[in-house]
Amino acid sequence: DKVKEKESTQNLLVAVRVRPLNGAEVEDKKCTEIVHVLDENLVVLKDPNEDQDDILRANRSREKQYIFDYAFGPNSNQADVYTKVAKPLIESVITGYNATVFAYGATGAGKTFTMLGTDQEPGIMARTLNDLFYEMDKTKEDMKYKVSMSYLEIYNEMIRDLLNPSSGFLELREDSKGVVVAGISEVQAKKTSEVMDLLVMGNKQRTSEPTAANKTSSRSHAILQVTVTQKSRVKNTIDEFKVGKLFMIDLAGSERAAQTKNRGKRMIEGAHINRSLLALGNCINALSENRGHYVNYRDSKLTRLLKDSLGGNCRTVMVAHASPASGSFEETRNTLLYADRAKNI
Ligand code: ADP
Ligand code: MG
């Protein structure tokens, strides 16, 4: 049917995931749930600040509806999110195309849960690698594959290797193969359990500093890069490699610097984060308009790194994250607006 066809050919997919209320939000008497996922595509946001007594105006003005390719509510599970947003990318990567999955949203909205998850409920990163290994295994008689992974962070516009933090700050370089991080470690993983261990270890190396807004604010972008190199085993075929790159990215918190009462050093960090996210948003908008707009990748490290993995034949997935709590209204509204702007027009 039409919807299916659209999904399979669409290069940019935008999804929203709303997490459940957490313990503190449930305890809080003043906290209400203001975000509702009404069906597979529809999210409704209520403004908790507007006059509650004005019943006539209430339902018209206080609610705003957003439509996305997918909307995942608090009861969605990891497998469901993975199957709809990331699994379809595996085939592209195996056949030599590039793809990127982003987790976007404010700190505490659920980005790391979706991307990394837990041992009991692994997220997109481990599930994708698991299925990637499985798919390659099915065609191993005909094809020779090599999978390597790197895990890095961009923090304050500086790049660090999360699998080898002692290597210091690394530089981006552009050569015939495209954009590479010079000196980054590449690990050849074969099993999902190894992958999860590496990711959990790497995540502990992420730079995070407490801010006034959140105790565990993560100000770094964590980037898992998976490179699949493929070569036919069949004799007499053209001796050619195919290389597919898949980026899975847990973006830094999107909350605005202004709201976090940042000063000094952290103010600069905030500005950098906004610059990367803004640069990313601008790139994605230019791509989603799809009219040969000039796409400026040079504005941030993040977009430079992704230069050959956004647009063209590449597939891009943005999963925007939100808390359903009334206290997060401003952040949630900003997140939904950002995601809405990223949509295919
Ligand atoms: P972020 O990475 O965006 O800062 P986290 O992924 O760390 O946010 O999520 C914040 C908290 O909420 C964590 O304790 C996490 O386990 C929990 N959480 C997030 N999303 C979900 C979800 N979909 N279901 C259950 N718990 C979740
Ligand atoms: Mg996080």
Q: What is the mean pLDDT of the chain?
A: 85
* Phi, psi (rounded to 5 degrees) for 166: -70, -10
pLDDT computed for residue 281 by the predictor: 82
pLDDT computed for residue 85 by the predictor: 97
Distance 345 CA to ligand 2 centre (A): 30
Ligand 1 closest atom vs CA 118? 16
Give the mean model confidence (pLDDT) for residues 100-126.
95
Q: Is the pLDDT of residue 145 over 60?
A: yes
SS3 label, residue 304 = helix
Ligand 1 closest atom vs CA 17? 23
Q: Place 192 in a pLDDT band, splitting at 50, 70 and 90.
A: confident
Distance CA 329, CA 342 (A): 20
Distance 322 CA to ligand 1 centre (A): 10
DSSP-assigned letters across all residues of 56-84:
HHHHHHSEEEEE-SEEE-TT--HHHHIII
Q: Is the pLDDT of residue 193 over 50?
A: yes
Ligand 1 closest atom vs CA 19? 23
What pairing do the DSSP bridges indicate for beta strands 63-67 and 178-181? unpaired
Give the mean model confidence (pLDDT) for residues 335-340.
92
Distance CA 5, CA 322 (A): 28
Neighbouring residues of 21: CB distance < 8 A, sequence distance ≥ 6: 31, 33, 74, 323, 324, 325
The residue ranking higher by pLDDT, 177 or 79, is 79
pLDDT computed for residue 291 by the predictor: 56
Q: Place 4 in a pLDDT band, splitting at 50, 70 and 90.
A: very low
Cβ 219 under 6 angstroms from ligand 1? no
Distance 59 CA to ligand 2 centre (A): 34
Amino acid at the residue 277: L
With a cut of 0.95, is the ipTM above it? yes
Ligand 1 closest atom vs CA 216? 4
Q: Is the pLDDT of residue 267 over 70?
A: no
pLDDT computed for residue 55 by the predictor: 59
Task: Give the closest residue (by CA) to ligand 1 atom 18.
Answer: 110
Distance 299 CA to ligand 2 centre (A): 24
276, with CB counted inside 10 A (0-12, 13-18, 19+), is buried
Q: How many CB atoms lie within 10 A of CB 130?
A: 17
pLDDT computed for residue 234 by the predictor: 76
pLDDT computed for residue 241 by the predictor: 83
Rg value, the chain, Cα: 20
Q: Is the pLDDT of residue 316 over 50?
A: yes
Give the mean model confidence (pLDDT) for residues 234-240.
69
Ion ligand 2: residues, CB < 5 A: 111-112, 218
The residue ranking higher by pLDDT, 188 or 36, is 36
Cα 245 to the chain's mean position, in Å? 15
Cβ 199 under 6 angstroms from ligand 1? no
Distance 137 CA to ligand 1 centre (A): 33
Percent of the chain with pLDDT over 70: 83
The residue ranking higher by pLDDT, 134 or 208, is 134
DSSP letter assigned to residue 19? P
Q: Is the pLDDT of residue 61 over 80?
A: no
Distance CA 166, CA 146 (A): 26
To test the ligand 1 pocket, which listed residue (113, 199, 221, 323) has its Cβ within 8 A of the most ligand atoms? 113
pLDDT computed for residue 142 by the predictor: 84
Distance 59 CA to ligand 1 centre (A): 30
Closest CA to 342 of 293, 294, 285: 285
Give the mean model confidence (pLDDT) for residues 224-241.
82
Q: Is the pLDDT of residue 5 over 50?
A: no
Cβ 116 under 6 angstroms from ligand 1? no
**Per-residue CA distances from 36 to 73, 78, 255, 263 (Å):** 7, 19, 21, 35
What would the pLDDT profile of 195-206 be if each residue is shown by its tens digit?
889 999 998 888
Closest CA to 302 of 290, 284, 326, 323: 284
Distance 323 CA to ligand 1 centre (A): 9
Q: Place 8 in a pLDDT band, splitting at 50, 70 and 90.
A: very low
pLDDT computed for residue 238 by the predictor: 67
The residue ranking higher by pLDDT, 72 or 256, is 72
Task: Give the closest residue (by CA) to ligand 1 atom 10.
Answer: 108
Cβ 208 under 6 angstroms from ligand 1? no
Q: Place 1 in a pLDDT band, splitting at 50, 70 and 90.
A: very low
Give the mean model confidence (pLDDT) for residues 120-147.
91
